[in-house]
Amino acid sequence: MQTRTPSYSGAAKLFHWLTALSVITAIVLGFAMVGASPGPGQNRLYDLHRSFGALILLLTGLRLLWRLTSPPPPMVPGMPAWQEKAAVYMHRLLYVMLFAMPLLGWAGTSAFPATITVFGLFELPPLVGPDRELSALLLGFHWRLAFVLCVMIAGHVGAALYHHFATKDETLKRMLP
């Protein structure tokens, strides 16, 4: 009889899936807003993209606090050492990106200068003073890192599907609701 590897906690799963949905939404909105015609519709896409960025920053902070106080379950037994290391480094890089992307966007928007109103509820304070050159630099970096993040997400999802369909282990099942 095969023993089951412990699953992630309900809170960890909730943070994971809320973050995943928020990131996917922010990415879709990001690509839509840069391709939209200037005007109220494009402005609304920018507002929503920025709001989801703020939500991602909050969720990632809470998620990291949870993770520091509630360590994840052990890896699935029998996983090759290189895969364990790759998983650890990928998760660390994802955390870095989930903090860096919203902070770069916030700083770049502040330097533009434009306000960030989070879902019409409140405004975030500017991180830096007005500086169009700095804004262009920060938002350009934010834009380029969006592609890196997309590749990282594809790798993360691909690895989960590989474990589910190829190795048929419980890696993916442990994070499903």
Amino acid in position 21: L
> Which CATH code is given to the segment(s) 10-175?
1.20.950.20
Domain boundaries of the chain, sorted by first residue? 10-175
Percent of the chain whose predicted confidence (pLDDT) is above 70: 98
pLDDT digits (tens, 9 = 90+) for 144-161: 999 999 999 999 999 999
CB 91 within 8 A of CB 71: no
CB 146 within 8 A of CB 152: no
- Compute the average pLDDT of residues 110-114: 98
Q: Which residues contact 10 (CB under 8 A, 6 or more apart)?
A: none
Q: pLDDT band for position 3 (50/70/90)?
A: low
Assign residue 126 a region (left: φ > 0; alpha: ψ between -120 and 50; beta: otherwise). Answer: beta
- Compute the average pLDDT of residues 129-135: 98
Q: What is the DSSP letter of 115?
A: -
> What integer best gives the mean pLDDT of the chain?
96
Percent of the chain whose predicted confidence (pLDDT) is above 90: 97
Q: Which of 113, 124, 112 is nearest to 50 (CA)?
A: 124
- Compute the average pLDDT of residues 61-74: 95
Whether pTM exceeds 0.85: yes
Coil, strand, or helix at residue 118?
strand
First to last CA, the chain: 24
Sign for the CA dihedral angle at 110, 141, 146, 95 comes to: negative
Whole-number pLDDT of residue 1? 40
**How many CA atoms within 13 Å lie on the side-chain side of 30?**
22
Residue 2 confidence (pLDDT) above 80: no
Whole-number pLDDT of residue 120? 97
pLDDT digits (tens, 9 = 90+) for 118-130: 999 999 999 999 9
Residue 50 confidence (pLDDT) above 80: yes
